């Protein structure tokens, strides 16, 4: 007898939506049958028209622990993930202290995460100047790949790789079949903002900076044979470069993020910029629910661009040039969001909100839940090689989400599980709501039942 049977008339399977029943035993999916099939189980749940999705896999999350746990931490980030339908995340090698650039730092990261996670967590390693000898040991210890920057990362302990050193790192990673993930902005095309407003910030990080860096990554990938992935693609001007590289057979993929698909420079320029008291959680005399989003909540690098660029990103996603949608959840303390666009920390917190944010925009553009699942679960799991994740498939972990696609959700920062309730989505009404998230067949978020994951050997 199975432990649990979950029925839904809108079960999203690898070949689309179907009425189905999913059987679970010992944390794994044991069978997928018809909606009305009567399979014995200790307990059953009938979702009716509430959709059943595979748990999301977010491969771009900055948890910041150890070292900067006041920004975020494993406990808070993974509770937010569970509330948002994310059952697996992979933690970036910065902005923790120490950054994950060697075996000792990975051990410190795993020690901080052990017993604290509400969902499953894996780790990226980092490629920085001088750590080439650490890359293979980190790979052997199970990191999912290696992140590098072409430009300043924002923290001094994780410096960028000059292109010459990047070539050597790519060659080393290619030698053991690893994956490199790249923050691609060419430093020669970046400048300091000439003022504190959003237009000045946007002008300081033009699309040409992304395009030039992506072109260089493509050249180095062709030269070294490394498998490469472009992180948080913001500039649609890069799509033709990526499409050609993919057509030429190069192992190059790309992701984008909910904020690039749903927000715009016009939104950011028109947002309220009223000083510290308007930032949720920072000595405000007003009730939290009444606060407007501070303008600097929109700041991230690369930046959110205009609405026409956003439309082209959707085209790139529909065509498959962009394969993944992940959050780049990059929180900080509210104090670091003070000031203007020239001085505030660049990062957007959206781990709990990614699914309804993307679904709201996707269905308006004619996409279905199966598309969202492909972008936010199947493709990220395949990119990183996360075992047992990414789809409602017999043998996979029973990581599942009950998602009400026609419900409405108004974003209240006070209801977020992120450590700090600063979000550009404050007050927005979204389509869809997560009702229950199961991790290996057990409701997630109620206890720290998450496991620490390692890369599946290829």
Structure confidence by residue, pLDDT tens digits, 32-50:
999 999 899 999 999 999 9
60-69, 119-128, 420-429: which has the minimum mean pLDDT?
Answer: 420-429
* 449: in domain: no
Mean pLDDT, rounded, for 362-370: 98
* 258: in domain: yes
Q: What is the pLDDT of residue 458?
A: 55
The pTM for the full model equals 0.95
* 395: in domain: no
Mean pLDDT, rounded, for 47-70: 98
Distance separating alpha carbons of residues 248 and 252, to the nearest angstrom: 10
Distance separating alpha carbons of residues 98 and 94, to the nearest angstrom: 8
* 7: in domain: no
Helix runs in 162-304, H state only: 163-175, 198-204, 207-224, 239-247, 258-262, 265-270
The residue that leads in pLDDT, 458 or 355, is 355
Pairing type for strands 429-439 and 442-443 reads antiparallel
* 1: in domain: no
* 34: in domain: no
* 134: in domain: yes
Q: Render pLDDT for 170-225 as a digit per residue (tens, 0 to 9).
A: 999 999 999 999 999 999 999 999 999 899 999 999 999 999 999 999 999 999 99
Residue 97's CATH number: 3.20.20.140
**Nearest Cα to 293, choosing from 420, 430, 413, 196?**
413
* 396: in domain: no
Q: What percent of the chain has pLDDT over 90?
A: 89
What total number of domains does the chain contain? 1
Residues linked to residue 44 through DSSP beta bridges, in sequence order: 5
Distance separating alpha carbons of residues 413 and 293, to the nearest angstrom: 9
Q: What band does 408 get if pLDDT is binned at 50, 70 and 90?
A: very high
Q: What band does 286 get if pLDDT is binned at 50, 70 and 90?
A: very low
Residues 6+ away with beta carbon under 8 Å from 146: 124, 125, 126, 127, 135, 138, 169, 173, 178, 179, 180, 181
Q: H or E stretch including 139?
A: helix 132-140
Residues linked to residue 227 through DSSP beta bridges, in sequence order: 179
Segments forming the whole domain that contains residue 326: 54-273+291-390+405-429
274-283, 298-307, 385-394: which has the minimum mean pLDDT?
Answer: 274-283
């Amino acid at each position: 007898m199975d432990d649990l049977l979950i029925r839904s008339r809108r079960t999203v399977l690898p070949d689309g939506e179907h009425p189905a029943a999913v059987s679970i035993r010992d944390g794994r999916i044991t069978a997928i049958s018809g909606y009305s099939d009567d399979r014995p189980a200790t307990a059953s749940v009938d979702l009716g028209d509430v959709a059943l999705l595979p748990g999301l896999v977010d491969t771009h999350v900055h948890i910041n622990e150890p070292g900067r746990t006041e920004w975020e931490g494993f406990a808070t980030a993974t509770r937010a993930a569970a509330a948002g339908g994310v059952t697996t995340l992979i933690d970036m090698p910065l902005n923790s202290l120490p950054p994950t650039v060697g075996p000792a730092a990975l051990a410190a990261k795993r020690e901080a995460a052990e017993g604290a996670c509400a969902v499953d967590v894996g780790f990226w390693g980092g490629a920085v100047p001088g750590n080439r000898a650490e890359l293979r040991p980190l790979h052997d210890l199970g990191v999912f790949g290696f992140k590098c920057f072409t430009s300043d990362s924002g923290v001094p302990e994780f410096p960028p790789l000059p292109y010459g050193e990047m070539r050597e790192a790519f060659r080393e990673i290619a030698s053991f079949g690893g994956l490199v993930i790249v923050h691609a902005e060419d430093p020669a095309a970046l400048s300091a903002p000439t003022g504190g407003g959003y237009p000045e910030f946007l002008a300081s990080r033009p699309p040409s900076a992304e395009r030039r860096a992506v072109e260089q990554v493509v050249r180095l990938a062709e030269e070294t044979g490394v498998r490469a992935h472009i992180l948080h693609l913001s500039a649609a001007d890069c799509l033709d470069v990526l499409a050609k590289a993919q057509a030429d057979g190069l192992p190059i993929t790309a992701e984008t993020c909910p904020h690039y698909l749903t927000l715009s420079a016009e939104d950011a320029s028109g947002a309220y910029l009223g000083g510290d008291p308007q930032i949720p959680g920072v000595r405000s005399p007003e009730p939290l629910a009444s606060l407007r989003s501070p303008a600097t909540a929109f700041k991230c690098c690369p930046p959110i661009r205009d609405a026409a660029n956003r439309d082209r990103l959707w085209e790139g996603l529909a065509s498959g040039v962009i394969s993944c949608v992940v959050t780049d959840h990059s929180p900080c303390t509210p104090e670091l969001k003070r000031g203007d666009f020239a001085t505030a920390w660049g990062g957007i917190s959206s781990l709990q909100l990614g699914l309804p944010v993307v679904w709201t925009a996707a269905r308006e553009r004619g996409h279905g839940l199966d598309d969202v699942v492909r972008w936010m679960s199947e493709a990220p799991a395949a990119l990183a090689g996360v075992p047992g994740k990414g789809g409602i498939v017999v043998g996979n972990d029973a990581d599942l989400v009950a998602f009400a696609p026609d419900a409405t959700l108004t974003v209240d920062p006070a209801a977020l599980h992120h450590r700090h309730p600063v979000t550009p989505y404050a007050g927005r009404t979204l389509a869809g709501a997560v009702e229950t998230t199961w991790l290996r067949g057990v409701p997630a978020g109620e206890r720290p039942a998450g496991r620490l994951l390692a890369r599946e050997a290829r």
